[in-house]
Amino acid sequence: MTARSCVIIPAFNEEGSIGTVVHSLKPILDTVIVVNDNSSDETGSIARAAGAMVINHATNKGYDHAINSGFMSASEQGFEHILTFDADGQHNPSDLKIMLKKLRDNQADIVIGIRKKKARWSEHILGLYANHRFGIKDPLSGLKGYHIKLFHKYGAFSKYNMIGSELSFFAASQGSPLIQMPIEIIKRQHTKPRFTGVLSGNEKILSALFKAVKLYGFKK
């Protein structure tokens, strides 16, 4: 029997791309969960019309809380494999399909996509730390896949708002089987407000770095 799997898409003001993204994933995974993080546009209604299950936040809670809401819903519904995918159309569904197969074949408990280029200078700094401490090359990649047992073991997707890196750090620290694979990044077509701007994004990434060092130190 094939394990039940779903994909979580955190979304904030992505009405220009969310419908296309959901449609592209439905042939791969029947259950697409979009967490609408209090968007001011039609992100939620467009996602629902495209066939997604939509979770609406009454207030804007941010990226980590959005994915956390998705994981809680997926756990309640009994999904075994959870993947995360960006709402802006920059991820390639073919990469998600490969990632899903690795999870279903029990090759790993977590699969992390590796981008060729990172968007911010602070990502390089966090990446250097993550690679040294955990062997993780791209901790902020939005395309990842997890076995639900990691979520249950840690008790959350995120406790400290570390921009989607937290559960992967925990998994690596526990010695969970981990695979990394190169992924394609497609040029973003829409310029609506994102979860983090350039300046605030760098600040949040450096904050995530300090939190990770505090939790796990520098030594492997």
Give the span between the Cα atoms of 36 and 43, in whole angstroms.
7
List all residues 6 or more positions away from 161 whose beta carbon is below 8 Å from its beta carbon.
62, 64, 65, 204, 207, 208
When pLDDT is cut at 50, 70 and 90, the band that residue 191 belongs to is low
Weakest-pLDDT range from 116-125, 132-141, 156-165 = 116-125
What's this model's pTM, rounded to 2 decimal places?
Answer: 0.94
Instruction: Tell me what pLDDT residue 219 has.
Output: 83
Instruction: Tell me what pLDDT residue 220 has.
Output: 76
Q: What is the mean pLDDT of the chain?
A: 94
Which element (helix H / strand E) includes 147?
Answer: strand 144-147
Taken in order of first residue, the domains within the chain and their CATH numbers are 5-216 (3.90.550.10)
When pLDDT is cut at 50, 70 and 90, the band that residue 212 belongs to is very high
Reported as a single tens digit per residue, the pLDDT across 20-29 is 999 999 999 9
Instruction: Tell me what pLDDT residue 76 has.
Output: 97
Reported as a single tens digit per residue, the pLDDT across 30-61 is 899 999 999 999 999 999 999 999 999 999 99
What is the average per-residue pLDDT within 171-181?
Answer: 98
Query: 130: exposed, middle or buried (C-beta count within 10 Å: 0-12, 13-18, 19+)?
Result: buried
Query: 200: exposed, middle or buried (C-beta count within 10 Å: 0-12, 13-18, 19+)?
Result: exposed
When pLDDT is cut at 50, 70 and 90, the band that residue 206 belongs to is very high
Instruction: Tell me what pLDDT residue 195 has.
Output: 54
Largest CA distance in the chain: 48
What is the average per-residue pLDDT within 93-112?
Answer: 98
Instruction: Tell me what pLDDT residue 30 has.
Output: 87
What is the average per-residue pLDDT within 86-115?
Answer: 97
pLDDT at 199 over 90: no
Strand order in 5-11's β-sheet?
53-56, 32-36, 5-11, 81-84, 144-147, 110-114, 178-182
